[in-house]
Amino acid sequence: MDIETIPALLPYAKPFLFVDGLSHIDENSVEGHYTFTEDHDFFKGHFKGNPVVPGVILTETMAQIGLVCMGIYLSNDTLDKTTVIALTSTEIEFIIPVYPKEKIVVVSEKIYFRFGKLKCRVKMLNAHDKVVCEGTIAGMITSKS
C-alpha cells in the first residue's frame, strides 16, 4: 500500500482529522505528523488566555497516526466499506503541553497484531524532538456486519 494512500482511507474528516501526512510505515512501525493550527475550536476555551491542545486531542492524534494508519496498512487485504477500527484502550502519560501552530510527530511501534486486535507503543514529539506524551494504545479491527 502506498504511503500517500493511507491518510485518504482514514474514516475521519476535518475538523476531526489529525493527520497531515506519513513519513514512514511498515509492518512494525509508523511515523506521521500534524500541525495544530490556530483555528481549532478547542483553543477558544482550553485554556482562557493560554490555549493548549487538550490531552484527549493529543491521544486522538496518536491513535489516528499510530494505530489507525497502521491498522489500515496491516489490514490492506481485508479492508472494505464494512471495516471498522475502534479504540479499545489507552494508557498515556502527558509530559509537556502543545500550543497553537505547533507541528508534532507521532512515532508508533507495533507491540502485537492478532485476532483483529492491534496494540502499539506510541510517542509524540514536538519540533524540538522533546517527548510531549507517550504510552500505549490498542484497538480492534472488525466488520460492521
Catalytic residues: 46
**Do residues 89 and 138 touch, judged by C-beta distance below 8 A?**
yes
Q: Is the dihedral of CA 23, 29, 79, 140 positive or negative?
A: negative
**Do residues 26 and 70 touch, judged by C-beta distance below 8 A?**
no
Q: If you write DSSP's letter for every residue of 96-110 in order, what string do you get?
A: S---TT-EEEEEEEE
Distance, CA of 30 to CA of 117 (rounded, Å): 17
